[in-house]
Amino acid sequence: MSLNAERSYKMKLRDVENAFKYRRIPYPKRSVELIALLAISCTFFLFMHTNKLNSRLKEMEVKLQPSEFSALGLTGNHISGHDAGKHDDINTLHGTYQYLKSTGQLGDLTPRRLNNTAKAEMDRLFFARCAKVGSESLMEFMEHLQDINNFRVDRTGFNKRTKRQLKPLAQAEVAGYVYNMEEGSVYIEHIPWIDFNEYNLPKPIFINLVRDPVERMISWYYYVRNSYRNAIFYRNNPLAPLKPTAWFKKSFNDCVRSGDPECQYVPLAVTDKEGNFKRQSIFFCGHDQDCL
C-alpha cells in the first residue's frame, strides 16, 4: 500500500470514528414529552413528601420540647401547617391549652397530679383490665417480665367471674386477696374499680387501658363470634343451643341496622338480653348502682 493510500485509509477510519463519537440519536416527540412528564411527577412527589416530613418534624419538636404543653401530658398530634392559624380551635394543641387555662383546669393536668403511683398505700399493682382494649398484650408483657424482675403476676384471680358488679362481701374478698399478696405482685382481672379504703385496707396502684368506645364495641362483637372461642364453649357446654350460621356471619353494621339486642345501647339499662361489656366507664366507676 502506498503512502498516500495508507494516509487516505487512516483519514477515512478517523472520519468513521468521529461519526460514531459525535452521532446524534433523534428521539420521537412523544418520548421527550414522557421524560418531561416523569421529571415533573418526581418533583411534585418529592415536594409533597418534603412538606409532610416538615409537618411531622414540627410535631416532634413540640413533643420533645420541655414546654408547658408537654408538662401537661399533651402532644402535638393536631399541629400541622393547616392548623397553625387556628389558635382558638379546641382541636389544636394551642386551642386546648387556652381552653384549659381559661377554665382553671390547667393545674389539674400536671403529671404529678395525674400519677396515682405516689398515692398508693401498698406495693401491689391492680390491673382492673377493661374488656377489649388490648389488655391481653399488656398482660403477656407483664408475664414476660415477672421472671426477669422477680415479681408475681396473678391472672386467675380470687375467683374468675364475669359479673359487671359485685356485692360488698365479694368486693371485700377480692380486696383482701390483693392485700395478702406479696409486695410487688400484680393482680389482673376483668373487674370494676374497688374502693379498698371502704374495707379498711390500703389502696394499691391502679392501672388500666381505654379504647375508642365504638372500636371497642366492634372488637367485642366479632370476638364473641370467633369460631375458636365458640368451639371451646360448646365443648364445655354440649347441651347449649347452637347459634345459627347466619349469626356468625353477620356484620356489625347489619347487626346495628336490624336492631339486634347485642348491638343496642339502652341508657339506664341494668341488664341486657345478650351479655356484654358495653360500658367502658364502669371499670373506673365501681360497683355502685349509680355506675349502671
| Paired strand residues for 153 | 186
- Supply the Cα-derived Rg of the chain in whole angstroms: 34
Active site residue 87: no
Q: What are phi and psi of 157, to 5 degrees?
A: 80, 170
Burial (0-12, 13-18, 19+ Cβ within 10 Å), 250 = middle
Q: Of 269, 266, 270, 229, which is closest to residue 248 (Cα–Cα)?
A: 229
In contact, 280 and 216? CB cutoff 8 Å: yes
How many residues in total does the chain contain? 292
Catalytic annotation, pick one of 87, 94, 190, 287: 190
128's grid cell: 382492673
- Residues marked as catalytic: 190
